[in-house]
Amino acid sequence: MPNSSLASNPDAIVYFTGVDLSEKEGYLYKYDATYGLAINDSATVPAAGVVLSGAPAVQQSSIAFLGATAGTYRLKSSGTIKRWQHVQQDTAGTVTVNAGSGARTLVGIADENAVSGDLFRCALISPIVIAS
């Protein structure tokens, strides 16, 4: 952590209540129209982060911001991914391997192999929007 009184959250992990994220560990989230949280439903509009521990709305959940964290975090896969491949967000809050063409948003680099439904280690990056 930087030696500064302004550095307040070096892990970029926040805790909150009020949104039901039960069974959503590893899913990407977005901010909704009221700056609340919702599971990301776009392959091209950048997600804000990943759910680390999901819980019912009355209990505390934790999230990490994309591009602001060190180390690896577990993401939910919606397809076959090989270690070292870039991953892109999909429309279900999960990620799949970089398609290599077409509009997409890259969000990380896989640190292990995965198949659909796996929680796998991934180094998070700031979302990279690719128009085509």
Beta bridge partners of 75: 120
**What pTM did the predictor assign?**
0.90
Sheet holding 86-89, edge to edge: 72-76, 119-130, 104-110, 86-89, 95-97
Mind listing the pLDDT tens digit for each residue in 26-78? Answer: 999 998 877 688 999 999 999 999 999 999 999 999 999 999 888 899 999 99
Pairing relationship of beta strands 119-130 and 72-76 according to DSSP bridges: antiparallel
Q: For the chain, give every domain's residue range.
A: 13-65, 72-130
Q: What percent of the chain has pLDDT over 70?
A: 95
